[in-house]
A and B are shown apart, each in its own frame.
Chain A
Amino acid sequence: MKRQFEDARGNRFEVSSSPAADGAHSVEILRGEGAVRQDARVRRAPGGEWLVEVGGITRTVYLSVGQNDTWISSLSAGDSLSHTVRLKPVEQRRAGRGDANPTAHLRSPMTGRVVVVHVAAGDHVVKGQPLLVVEAMKMEHVIKAPRAAVVLRVACAVGRQVEGGAELVELEPEQA
């Protein structure tokens, strides 16, 4: 089965696997233009890490599968800048966008106070345009439009305390 994942910058990675001899799997990795095929075995270590073996060489990978995101870290010196990568399954993203249109309701990333509101109902906004500013713990956070949209409703006011997850603005996405 082929599965596609996307990182925070929109880079896509496709992986697929099929059983091979001796409990190994033949795995195809597609990144950008190049595809690689490797015979690999994977086992779970007592601490929960995954031990990935290719051609007798084992590397350790930390993998956590969450509701929306999959997190992977590999610490082997062979990885030039080995660190944590956050990936989203591509199918899941499409499904999420289809049902409740989650990008249409912008929610406060944290509990704080609304200090600036730049927009009003009816405004057309472009992708990345600052909509409002929420302040918490001396830090200001600019809430930006995720895409071109029309502001349907501003659900908060300057000076108001907002809970993390509270709706701030409702947007109707515009076709680019």
Chain B
Amino acid sequence: MKKVLIAGRGEIAVRIARACRVLGIGSVAIYSDADAGARHVRKADEAVRVGPAESALSYLDIAAVLAAARLTGADAVHPGYGFLSENPDFASAVADAGLTWIGPPAAVIAPIRSKTAAKDVARAAGVPTAPSAVLDDLSEAGLQAAATHVGFPLLVKPEDGGGGKGMQRVDRMEDLVPAVQAARRVAASAFASDRLLLERCIEGARHVEVQVLGDQHGDAVHVFERDCSVQRRHQKVIEESPCPVLTLAERAAICESGRAFARHVGYVGAGTVEFLFDPVSRAHYFLEMNTRLQVEHPVTEAVVGLDLVVTQLRIAQGARLAELFGPEGLQQRGHAIEVRVYAEDPADGYVPQAGTLQRVVWPDAPMVRVDAGFETGDVVPVHYDPMLAKIIAWGRDREEATLRMLAALRETVVHGVATNIPMLIDVLQQPSFARSEVNTGWLDAFYGTEGPGYGVAPSDAALLALALAGPGQAAAGAASARHAAGPAAARDPWDMLVGLRVGGGRS
């Protein structure tokens, strides 16, 4: 493996280019017209345009991506996350073109793509699943039989869906028929199939997922768990490792379930087995497997001290897990928290923000990592996911990690687009977060539909700067300052100290 084409954009493409550099492997970024000068383009060895801004004609165009690999002589493809990362046709096309696919082969992805098929595989692997049923018989008797089998409360879900779309909770038998009809309409318009499934609703469940790695020689290990329960409308916002509420025995059980699933499907590369954890019964239930690198992989890297992307590359080169980790294996140490910094306005229903970043200052502190897709001067396009960066803080315990994260967020500056940073600071200070009394519905319930708004008033210093250097003031303020001071300004110790005169030609 000499050169890797990275089939993604934003922070993850930067992250993968860096891992390639660690191993002395070349990297090729791809970009659409909207990303022509983007940070991921600047951080890779080479970059190739794959099409216009619309992702269907650029990042999702398999032929264009493979043409970029041919042009640059790349001999391997890393799919990143999103876009084509979980598309078995892309995995096959890469292999058919004679390139190394950094991930599980299409034959591994295909059988676990649908939620129901993956559940069947989980049962076969001895991994616990919540009671569920596919709705094949849509007669009232058929629905009732399925609901009785699953039990209330239950969720009606489009089989092909994601992101909670079309999902409905049903508490009583009499509400079942209308809920099924509504969910079918959503599924038919939004997804490839209108097939539905019923699944037992685990009330107050936490989202706990297990990082797994499989090699090309049939071995698979788990790399411990992550808790991603702080979600906004089914999108993860804060992730951490370890899960704060598991006992040692519960952690061992859930991690072993993840490993068993990976081994059963012959998994190759890095993947994540997602579970719901019931904090009352203390049981865990298989949800689905993500056959790619996850956004939140850095929290695992922080507590285990393992570079997961370098490991992906080594596995693709044919390395054995036993050689990579040795007899002592992997250990979890301390606590790590990740926040996702989104360009969105929490004061306005989280509407995504696009525009030029006039000023960005990411935090730079001990035990804090920033994976950023943008810096000062970059443009956030309207066309893609609005995530600007991830910030990861490590501590010897959860409290220390939380304090470090709060400090990091307080020194982060993003001007030009609104961000969710005020919300992140607010959440990290909540007693419920400190006690980790959260579940996947907590954040939405906490803020209601309106979002947290902005609770921050400008400081006196901010308003003084605004008065003297704000719009319409910068030139005038500076000029009058020098004028008023007259020739004495050159001897002003304050002026000497800074070495740059406002509005002056000399620096």
Whether the Cβ atoms of B463 and A50 lie closer than 8 Å is: no
**Given A27-B464, A89-B471, A74-B459 contact (CB < 8 Å):** yes
Whether the Cβ atoms of A83 and B425 lie closer than 8 Å is: yes
Q: Does A19 contact B (CB under 8 A)?
A: yes
A77-115 Cβ-contact flags toward B at 8 Å (1 or 0): 011011111110100000000000000000001110001
Q: Does A29 contact B (CB under 8 A)?
A: yes
Chain B residue nearest to A72 in the complex (CB): B462
Whether the Cβ atoms of B459 and A82 lie closer than 8 Å is: yes
Q: Does B447 contact A (CB under 8 A)?
A: no
Q: Could you say which of B453, B499, B500 contacts A9, with CB atoms under 8 Å apart?
A: B453
What's the minimum C-beta distance from A68 to chain B, rounded to whole angstroms? 10
Q: Which residues of B contact A53 (CB under 8 A)?
A: 494
Q: Could you say which of A23, A29, A72, A141 contacts B485, with CB atoms under 8 Å apart?
A: A23
Q: Give the number of residues in A that approach B within 8 Å (Cβ atoms).
A: 77
Q: Could you say which of B349, B351, B456, B465 contacts A50, with CB atoms under 8 Å apart?
A: B465
Whether the Cβ atoms of B416 and A42 lie closer than 8 Å is: no
How many angstroms from the CA of A43 to the CA of B465 in the assembled complex? Answer: 9
Q: Does B163 contact A (CB under 8 A)?
A: yes
Q: Could you say which of B385, B458, B464, B498 contacts A52, with CB atoms under 8 Å apart?
A: B464
Q: Could you say which of B384, B463, B484 contacts A31, with CB atoms under 8 Å apart?
A: B463
How many angstroms from the CA of A46 to the CA of B504 in the assembled complex? Answer: 12
What's the minimum C-beta distance from A24 to chain B, rounded to whole angstroms? 8
Binding stretch for chain B, among A33-41, A119-127, A148-156, A168-176:
A33-41
Q: Does B507 contact A (CB under 8 A)?
A: yes
Indicate the member of B457, B458, B481, B485 with the most A CB atoms within 10 Å. Answer: B458
**Given A29-B464, A62-B415, A164-B354, A15-B457 contact (CB < 8 Å):** no
Chain B residue nearest to A29 in the complex (CB): B463
Q: Which residues of A contact B488 (CB under 8 A)?
A: 22-23
Whether the Cβ atoms of A7 and B469 lie closer than 8 Å is: no
Q: Which residues of A contact B459 (CB under 8 A)?
A: 59, 74, 76, 78-79, 82
Q: Give the number of residues in B that approach A within 8 Å (Cβ atoms).
A: 78
**Given A44-B498, A63-B470, A74-B477 contact (CB < 8 Å):** no
Q: Which residues of B contact A20 (CB under 8 A)?
A: 484
Q: Does B467 contact A (CB under 8 A)?
A: yes
Q: Which residues of B contact A147 (CB under 8 A)?
A: none
**Given A43-B500, A45-B498, A71-B359 contact (CB < 8 Å):** yes
Whether the Cβ atoms of A23 and B415 lie closer than 8 Å is: no
Whether the Cβ atoms of A44 and B351 lie closer than 8 Å is: no
Whether the Cβ atoms of B415 and A138 lie closer than 8 Å is: no
Q: Does B95 contact A (CB under 8 A)?
A: no
Q: Could you say which of B381, B382, B462, B507 contacts A61, with CB atoms under 8 Å apart?
A: B462
B470-507 Cβ-contact flags toward A at 8 Å (1 or 0): 11111001001110110011001011001111100001
B411-442 Cβ-contact flags toward A at 8 Å (1 or 0): 10111101101100100000000000000000
B364-398 Cβ-contact flags toward A at 8 Å (1 or 0): 00000000000000000111111000000000000
Question: Within B150-191, which residues are at the interface with A (CB < 8 Å)?
Answer: 162-163, 165, 189-190
Whether the Cβ atoms of B499 and A3 lie closer than 8 Å is: no
Q: Could you say which of A66, A78, A82 contacts B358, with CB atoms under 8 Å apart?
A: A66
How many angstroms from the CA of A158 to the CA of B418 in the assembled complex? Answer: 28
Q: Which residues of B contact A48 (CB under 8 A)?
A: 359
Whether the Cβ atoms of B454 and A85 lie closer than 8 Å is: yes
Q: Does B410 contact A (CB under 8 A)?
A: yes
Q: Does B331 contact A (CB under 8 A)?
A: no
Q: Does B120 contact A (CB under 8 A)?
A: no
Q: Which residues of B contact A5 (CB under 8 A)?
A: 466, 470
Q: Which residues of B contact A79 (CB under 8 A)?
A: 459, 461-462
Whether the Cβ atoms of A64 and B359 lie closer than 8 Å is: yes
How many angstroms from the CA of A62 to the CA of B461 in the assembled complex? Answer: 10
Q: Does B350 contact A (CB under 8 A)?
A: yes
A selection of 26 A-B contacts at a CB cut-off of 8 Å is A3-B471, A7-B457, A9-B453, A17-B468, A17-B473, A22-B488, A23-B484, A29-B463, A38-B464, A43-B502, A54-B460, A54-B461, A63-B465, A63-B470, A64-B416, A71-B415, A72-B465, A74-B462, A76-B459, A84-B413, A84-B415, A109-B352, A109-B354, A110-B386, A136-B352, A164-B381
**Interface contacts beyond A17-B473, A73-B413: sample of 19 additional A-B pairs, CB < 8 Å, sorted by A:** A7-B457, A8-B453, A15-B467, A17-B467, A22-B492, A27-B467, A38-B460, A43-B494, A43-B502, A45-B498, A72-B458, A74-B459, A78-B461, A81-B425, A110-B352, A110-B354, A139-B163, A141-B350, A142-B349
